Amino acid sequence: MGRQKQVRFADNQEKYNIVQVGKESFGKLKGRWSERHFGNNNPLIAELGCGKGEYTFGLAQHHSDHNFVGVDIKGYRIWVGAQACEAAGLQNAAFLRTEIENIDMHFGQGELAEIWIPFPDPRPKGRDEKRRLTSPRFLELYRQLLVPGGMVRLKTDNRPLFDYTLEQIAQIAHTDLRYTFDLYNDVLLEEHLGIQTNFERKYLGMGQPIHYLRFNFS
Report, as residue numbers or ranges, the catalytic residues.
Answer: 121
Q: How far apart are CA 155 and CA 195, in angstroms?
A: 12
Q: How far apart are CA 143 and CA 168, in angstroms?
A: 13
Choose among 128, 132, 209, 119: nearest CA to 169.
132
Q: How far apart are CA 200 and CA 116, in angstroms?
A: 15
SS (H, E, C) 27-49: CCCCCCHHHHHHCCCCCEEEEEC
Q: How far apart are CA 114 and CA 149, in angstroms?
A: 10
